[in-house]
């Protein structure tokens, strides 16, 4: 009883070649994905910077609004203090 060859040297060589090609394709795909990730990170950083600038502007506007409201409130309170308590409100 002789054993039949399952793999010939040509089969083994072709398998090696296919594995080398697959490895090269994998490295190429990884490089492309890394480039895409770098681009997405750059876009994310730009968006983050824009958001931080917007938050800073809105915070400054809110502080200005609070200061304006506080000044108006103080002016109204000052007028109320000068008013005669016995006088009618209307």
**H runs (alpha helix) in 1-90:** 9-82
Q: Find, among 79, 16, 69, 26, the residue nearest to 7 by Cα.
A: 16
- pLDDT grade, residue 90 (50/70/90)? low
How far is 64 from 1, CA to CA, in rounded Å?
A: 97
58-74: per-residue pLDDT in tens? Answer: 999 999 999 999 999 99
Backbone phi, psi, residue 84, to 5°: -75, 120
pLDDT in tens, 5-33: 778 889 999 999 999 999 999 999 999 99
Please compute the mean of the pLDDT values over residues 82-86 and round it to a whole number.
Answer: 73
């Amino acid at each position: 009883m002789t054993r039949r060859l399952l793999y010939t040297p040509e089969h083994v060589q072709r398998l090696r070649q296919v594995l080398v090609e697959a490895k090269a394709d994998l490295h190429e795909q990884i490089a492309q994905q890394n480039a895409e990730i770098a681009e997405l990170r750059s876009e994310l950083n730009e968006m983050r910077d824009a958001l931080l600038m917007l938050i800073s502007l809105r915070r400054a506007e809110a502080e200005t609004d609070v200061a304006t409201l506080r000044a108006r409130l103080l002016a109204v309170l000052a007028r109320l203090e000068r008013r005669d308590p016995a006088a009618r409100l209307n």
